[in-house]
Amino acid sequence: MILTRRSLPRRTFLRGVGATLALPLLDAMIPAATAQFRTAAKPACRLGFVFMPMGCDITRWTPPGDRLDVLSPILDSLAPVKDRVTIISNLELQNAYPGSHATSNSAFLSAAKAKLTESTDYYLGTTVDQIAAKQMGKATALPSLELAMDLLQLAGQCDNGYACVYQNNLSWSSPTTPLPAEAHPRLVFESLFGEGGSSTERRAALRKKASLLDSFREDVRKLNRQLGPADQARVNHYLETVREVERRIQKAESDAVGSPLPDLDRPAGVPAAYADHARLMFDLQVLALQGDVTRVITFQLARETSNRTYPEIGVPDPHHPLSHHGNDPEKIARMAKINQFHVSLFAEYLQKLKATPEGDGNLLDHSLILYGSGIGDPNIHDHTNLPIIVAGGGAGQWKGGRHVRYAQPKPLANLHLTLLDKAGIHLDSFADSTGKLTEFQEPLAI
């Protein structure tokens, strides 16, 4: 590592054997000579998109007031970060009609109408994350990161004549180019920290040593000579977090090898419990944002029509059939438990971002993360009054602690356009947008 400036470049890396590790934002990366320089080094805004499948019980989702003094049952776990959370009611996806699970998934980030086809001549639209990545990704090692929880890619047609590609992929870099999402923690870890060669070659190289971080020791020693006590503590904490994530991945791989039962949905190395797998994937996102490896992330908690069960929360029913509840109160209550479970994992992620210092704030302060579904009422495949959360401070561009309710439905594309604008990407329109959401044009005093 060669450092020739009085302040470290933001893109300072530690380089080991077959791996590269980006560093979090340090005080040493911000020139202290003038306030002007400090302003110029303000942390960049990150964008995240977390997809919740098959809608929800909107009655248990919707907060009772315009402020979040009281949260709904499904959203209760967001209490520790509610000052950084905005609930938006009555957004819609008109281009997802005629209602289906395939179009719920495909329209969530594209707000575009999917071509009805069972073949490879599929056509959708460029998704909002990829519009952001084309600009924001110029400054990072990875333009964007696409993650999921389902490891099997379905083939053929999956829903009323729609090709499975519409349900497999949230992100599209063009109307004809879906981007596959990675669900295997080890492969995500390698994409963040590996260097050179194919995935197979990088995996083999990493497994030759006890820990990825062992090869960085000399670089860390040299770096620490140039850092103050606060920066040294920040780097050490970051490295400890990387090591802990790596340890959990190695344990999952070891546990999978010793498992006597095959699991077609869970290749070797993926934690057996859904919550453990999801937490690990969220922790990898924290590392990616903290190291500024990427500034744009999408994460699919499960694909539409998922038949995953959740026995750990007392719901042994497959999710998809349960979502078609026929207004049965018991089925609706069990579906709501799944909704609450998913939100609780998201809430843990937000708390970790809030606990990760960066500059004069934390990662949550410098992010905007959209959480939601492309379906409102799953029982009737409705794409109106979608469950939508926006979390984070947007690097000073967004205020939370509120519930915004529209009297008449507005396009979800209006929110996408607004989030792009807050991240510094200024477009006149996106998909079927009718304009930015005026309630968010200026930060509100809450």
Question: DSSP characters for 349-394?
Answer: HHHHHHTSEETTEETTTTEEEEEE-S-S-GGGT--SS--EEEES-G
> Residue 121 burial by CB count (10 A; 0-12/13-18/19+): exposed, middle or buried?
exposed
Contact call for residues 320 and 305 (beta carbons, < 8 A): yes
Listed residue (167, 203, 200, 182) closest to 281, CA to CA: 182
Contact call for residues 97 and 433 (beta carbons, < 8 A): no
Cα 437 to Cα 414: distance, rounded to the nearest angstrom? 6
Asked if omega into 409 is within 30° of 0 (cis), the reply is: no
Q: Give the CA angle between residues 188, 190, 194 to the nearest 5°.
A: 150
List of residues 6+ apart from 395 with CB closer than 8 A: 42, 43, 44, 45, 365, 366
Per-residue pLDDT of the chain (446 residues; tens, 9 = 90+): 334 344 666 666 666 555 667 777 777 776 643 333 334 356 789 999 999 999 999 999 999 999 999 999 999 999 999 999 999 999 999 999 987 899 999 999 999 999 999 888 999 999 999 999 999 998 888 999 999 999 776 655 567 789 989 999 999 999 999 999 999 998 898 888 765 445 555 455 545 544 666 767 777 778 877 788 878 877 877 777 777 777 777 776 666 655 544 444 455 578 989 999 999 999 999 999 998 999 999 999 999 989 999 999 999 999 999 999 999 999 999 999 999 999 999 999 999 999 999 988 999 999 999 999 999 999 999 999 999 999 999 999 999 999 999 999 999 999 999 999 999 999 999 999 999 998 887 644 43
Tokens standing for residue 131: 């519009």
Cα 209 to Cα 193: distance, rounded to the nearest angstrom? 14
Domain residue ranges of the chain, discontinuous segments joined by +: 1-42+187-269, 47-183+296-440
Q: Give the CA angle between residues 291, 178, 112 to the nearest 5°.
A: 105
The domain made up of 47-183+296-440 is a member of CATH 3.40.720? yes
Contact call for residues 160 and 100 (beta carbons, < 8 A): yes
Q: What is the DSSP string of 195-247?
A: -SS-HHHHHHHHTTSS-GGGGGHHHHHHHHTTS-HHHHHHHHHHHHHHHHHHH
Bridge partners (DSSP) listed for residue 177: 174
Contact call for residues 128 and 110 (beta carbons, < 8 A): yes
Cα 244 to Cα 248: distance, rounded to the nearest angstrom? 6
The DSSP call for residue 268 is T
Residue 4, pLDDT score: 38
Cα 381 to Cα 54: distance, rounded to the nearest angstrom? 8
List of residues 6+ apart from 60 with CB closer than 8 A: 72, 73, 74, 336, 339, 340
Residue 119, pLDDT score: 85
Contact call for residues 386 and 376 (beta carbons, < 8 A): yes
Rg (CA), the chain: 22
Bridge partners (DSSP) listed for residue 259: none
Residue 14, pLDDT score: 66
Which H helix or E strand runs over 346?
helix 329-354
Contact call for residues 74 and 395 (beta carbons, < 8 A): no
Q: Give the CA angle between residues 85, 10, 288 to the nearest 5°.
A: 45
Side chain identity, residue 286:
V
Residue 217, pLDDT score: 74
